[in-house]
Amino acid sequence: MQTLRTQWAAATAHCAWTEKRLSQIRALDLLAKSRGQTLAQLALAWVLRQPAVTSAIIGASQLSQVADCVLALKNLDIGDEELNRIDAIAAA
């Protein structure tokens, strides 16, 4: 007989919310906070600095989310050291 834990593990095996992924999210969140930004703001700054990107769709469902994303425009500069940290986090 399966325990509730093993049933949950089997049911969520396809889910992207693994402990590794959560650890990466936490590390990126710390980087964002060190820049004085939210994780969403850091993500937008990263996306908008990509040469092939001409616009970003934010998918906000609340006005407060739109306001938060607009604040990303105050700090779009991401240095090479920060880009290397983001790459290292993503590769971990």
Give the per-residue pLDDT at 15. 65
CA distance 32 to 8: 32
Domain coordinates in residue numbering, the chain: 39-92
Residue 2 reports pLDDT greater than 60: yes
pLDDT at 4 over 90: no
Average of per-residue pLDDT values in the chain: 88
- 56 pLDDT above the threshold of 80: yes
What confidence tens digit (pLDDT) does each residue in 60-91 have? Answer: 899 999 999 999 999 999 999 999 999 999 99
Q: Which region holds residue 15: left if phi is over 0, alpha if psi is between -120 and 50, else beta?
A: beta
